[in-house]
Chain A
Amino acid sequence: MNKDKIFKLAKGFRGRAKNCIRIARERVEKALQYSYRDRRDKKRDMRSLWIERINAGTRLHGVNYGNFMHGLMKENIQLNRKVLSELAMHEPYSFKALVNVSCTAFPGNKAVPKKEGLSSIL
C-alpha cells in the first residue's frame, strides 16, 4: 500500500530513486520536506520578485523603491506589492500617476533621468 503511494510521488525522479523502494522512500521523504519548506519560501520569493519589479518600474521614472513606498504610505494608499508590480508591467500610465502621487507626498529623489523609452511619452 505504502509502496505504491511512494512510487506515485517519486515520478520524475532521477535514476533508481523512481524505481527502487529503498532509495525512493528516502528521496520522497526529502521531497516532501522540501515542498513543506518551500510553500513558506514561495510567499517570500514572490514578494521579493514584486519588489524588484516595482523598483525597476519606478526607476524608469527617476524614483527608487524606498522613496516610492514611503510616499504611498504617507498618502495611505494600501495597494499591495503584487498589484503594484502588475500595474507597473501592464498599466504604465496608471503607474506613472501613482509615482506622481508618491512624489508629491515625499519628494525624495531629485535627479530625474534622461527621458528614454516610455517615460519620454508620459
Chain B
Amino acid sequence: MATTIPTSAFIATPHRCSTGRSSAIWVQKAQFSASSSSLGVSLSLKRPSLRLVSVRCEANGAGMPVIPAEERWMYEESEINGPDIWNKTWYPKAADHVNTEKTWYIVDASDKILGRMASTIANYIRGKNLATYTPSVDMGAYVIVINAEKVAVSGQKRSQKLYRRHSGRPGGMKIETFDQLQKRIPERIVEHAVRGMLPKGRLGRTLFTHLKVYKGSEHPHQAQKPIPLPIRDKRIQFVKK
C-alpha cells in the first residue's frame, strides 16, 4: 500500500508493523551471511547497519531488504516477502486494540428514543462499524452518554415499562416502573438497555465498561476529546404528539 492513509480511527493498518520480530531475525542472519558469504556477487543489500532494535513500521515497504536468490532458501516466505495478507484472514495483534488509542464518542440522550439510541451505542462499542471487526477481540470505541435522565420512550412505556430485579431469596423480586427508576437512578436505564444489546460473556462485560453514562450534561472525559456519535437512524428523535 503506497497510499498515505490519514490516521483516522476507523481504518488502522497496524498489523503491518508487527514484522519487527522477523526483521530482527533477519538482522542476525544477515550478520552471519555477511561474514561467511564469499560469493563474489555484488550484493545490493540494503542492510540496516547492525541494528539490534527493530523499528516496527520501518520493517515494511521501502525498508524491506532484497534477499538475493542464492540466499532465499535460508529464509521463510514471510521474511522474504512480508506477511501474507491475502491468503490468511487478518487477526488483530495486541497493538491493534490498545485501549488508549481508541476513539471516544459522545451522545446527548435528551429526547432520544431509548432503544434506538442504545442499539447504535452497542454497535459502536462492539466495533461492528469498523471493517476490522473481530468478534473475539475488543475493537470498539468508548461512548459517553450525557443527559441520561432526559431519555425518552414512546407510547405508555413511561408508566408501564417495568424493570425487575431479584435479590436471590424467595419473594425477593423488586419491580419498578420506568418513571420510578428514572427518578431514583437515571443512569441505570441507559445502562440496562445497552447491556441487553451487548454480548453476554467475559468480553461483553469488559465492553460494558466502555460505556460511560452521566446524569447531567457534564462529564469528566474532556481530555479524551470525544466526538459526536454519528447516528443514522431517522426515527430516533422523540416527537411529542
Q: Which residues of A line the B interface, CB within 8 A? A: 46, 49-50, 52-54, 56-57, 59-60, 82-83, 85-86, 88-93, 111, 113-114, 116-118, 121
Is the beta-carbon distance between A56 and B6 smaller than 8 angstroms?
Answer: no
Can you give 17 contacting A-B residue pairs, CB < 8 Å? A49-B89, A52-B133, A53-B131, A56-B130, A56-B133, A60-B129, A82-B89, A85-B131, A86-B85, A86-B89, A86-B90, A89-B11, A89-B90, A92-B131, A117-B11, A118-B5, A121-B6
B86, B128, B133, B230: which contacts A86 (Cβ < 8 A)? B86
Whole-angstrom CA separation of A53 from B8 in the bound complex: 18
Query: Which 3 A-B pairs rank lowest in CB-CB distance, beginning with the nearest?
Result: A57-B131, A88-B131, A117-B10
Mask, B111-151, CB within 8 Å of A = 1, is 00000000000000000111111110000000000000000
Query: Min CB distance, A69 to chain B, in Å?
Result: 15
Whole-angstrom CA separation of A111 from B232 in the bound complex: 9
Indicate whether A117 sits within 8 Å of B90 (C-beta atoms), given known contacts A49-B135, A52-B128, A89-B13. Answer: no
Chain B residues near A85 (CB, 8 Å)? 89, 131
Is the beta-carbon distance between B85 and A90 smaller than 8 angstroms?
Answer: yes
Is the beta-carbon distance between B131 and A91 smaller than 8 angstroms?
Answer: no
Q: Which residues of B line the A interface, CB within 8 A? A: 1, 3, 5-6, 8-11, 13, 85-86, 89-90, 128-135, 230, 232
Closest to A83 in B: B86
Is the beta-carbon distance between B11 and A118 smaller than 8 angstroms?
Answer: yes
Is the beta-carbon distance between B6 and A53 smaller than 8 angstroms?
Answer: no
Is the beta-carbon distance between A90 and B130 smaller than 8 angstroms?
Answer: no
Query: Min CB distance, B86 to chain A, in Å?
Result: 6
Query: Min CB distance, B45 to chain A, in Å?
Result: 27
Closest to B12 in A: A89
Is the beta-carbon distance between A113 and B131 smaller than 8 angstroms?
Answer: no
B8, B13, B128, B132: which contacts A117 (Cβ < 8 A)? B8
B13, B85, B131: which contacts A56 (Cβ < 8 A)? B131
Query: Min CB distance, B119 to chain A, in Å?
Result: 14
Chain B residues near A116 (CB, 8 Å)? 10, 230
Whole-angstrom CA separation of A85 from B11 in the bound complex: 13
